[in-house]
């Protein structure tokens, strides 16, 4: 299999300064590509995450949020995959002997099978540490009350502080990890998981979306200094009839994209 690649560049704030970052990515995912059994990767429903939080409250368990660094780059390629030697590598002068292709040994971001292969790879790691999968991305320890929620490379670990600390000493032997939190009910502090804040206090755990989303929504829709409304909907919605709507009243492509972005934020916040 021959895979097309590109350099994906962005800025990241690291060590109190902005740093330019570039990474090799595959150009295999296209808009409209249908998923199939080989490319499908399960994710953790929010309802299940809430159940794990409730279990931590009922049994006095600790919670830690763990980020896996460069998750896909740690997954071995299953088939033989070739990539053309990029121009930036050729210009560096470090690639000689007339080589035109590299053999890709690990999965890349943007590769169609990367997410599903990562799920298989992480499941095998969990099994080696006595965890069994019982919901696709939820892993339960076979001997004690310990759980891992894996939303691709974002992990939520629920168990005693001692167990999580021991597990965090073992997992870095196989994965690059960054841990946040390790708090239990009654502690004072917060951790982030899937862009939601888990705020610990003496009464329990409050789950709230990021505070940045409401200002972002207002900025998208250019809503400034508007008066409040008692009913959060437009009156036209009551009489809307798609059959009776003239085509010139439809949103253009740019406005439709804006509407979808705003609606997506609203759906996220309502959870």
Mean pLDDT of 157-171: 88
Query: How is the chain split into domains, by residue range?
Result: 1-34+79-110, 42-72+113-183, 213-270
SS3 251: coil
Mean pLDDT of 121-149: 90
Which has the minimum average pLDDT: 12-26, 28-42, 153-167? 28-42
Residue 220 near residue 226 (C-beta atoms within 8 A): no
Return the pLDDT at 141.
92
Share of the chain above pLDDT 90, in %: 19
Distance between terminal CA atoms of the chain?
A: 42
SS3 200: strand
Q: What is the DSSP letter of 153?
A: T
Return the pLDDT at 139.
92
pTM listed for this prediction? 0.74
Share of the chain above pLDDT 70, in %: 88
Cα distances (angstroms) measured from residue 243 to each of 239, 246, 250, 253? 12, 8, 12, 20
Judging by beta carbons within 10 Å of its beta carbon (0-12, 13-18, 19+), is residue 215 exposed, middle or buried?
exposed
Residues contacting residue 31 through CB under 8 Å, at least 6 positions apart: none
Return the pLDDT at 93.
67
Mean pLDDT of 73-101: 81
Select from 3.30.9, 2.30.170, 3.30.310, 3.30.1490 the CATH code of 42-72+113-183.
3.30.310
Angle between helices 253-270 and 213-220 (to 10 degrees): 160
Pairing of strands 62-68, 138-141: unpaired
């Amino acid at each position: 299999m021959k895979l097309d690649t590109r350099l994906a560049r962005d800025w990241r704030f690291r060590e109190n300064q902005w740093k330019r970052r570039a990474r090799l990515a595959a150009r295999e995912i296209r808009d409209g590509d249908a998923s199939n059994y080989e490319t499908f990767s399960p994710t953790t429903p929010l309802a299940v995450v809430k159940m794990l939080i409730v279990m931590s409250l009922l049994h006095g368990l600790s919670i830690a949020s763990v980020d896996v660094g460069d998750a896909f780059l740690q997954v071995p390629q299953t088939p033989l995959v070739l990539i053309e030697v990029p121009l930036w590598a050729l210009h560096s002068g470090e690639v000689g002997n007339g080589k035109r292709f590299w053999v890709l040994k690990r999965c890349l971001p943007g590769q169609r099978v990367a997410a599903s292969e990562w799920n298989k790879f992480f499941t095998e790691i969990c099994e080696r540490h006595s965890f069994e999968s019982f919901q696709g991305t939820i892993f339960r320890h076979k001997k004690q009350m310990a759980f891992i929620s894996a939303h691709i490379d974002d992990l939520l670990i629920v168990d005693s502080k001692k167990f999580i600390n021991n597990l965090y000493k073992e997992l870095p032997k196989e994965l690059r990890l960054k841990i946040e939190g390790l708090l239990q009910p009654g502690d004072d502090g917060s951790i982030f998981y899937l862009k939601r804040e888990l705020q610990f206090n003496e009464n329990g755990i409050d789950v709230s979306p990021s505070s940045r989303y409401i200002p972002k929504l207002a900025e998208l829709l250019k809503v400034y200094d508007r008066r409040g409304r008692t009913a959060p909907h437009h009156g036209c919605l009551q009489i809307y009839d798609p059959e009776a709507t003239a085509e010139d009243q439809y949103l253009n492509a740019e406005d439709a994209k804006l509407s979808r972005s705003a609606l997506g934020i609203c759906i996220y916040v309502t959870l």
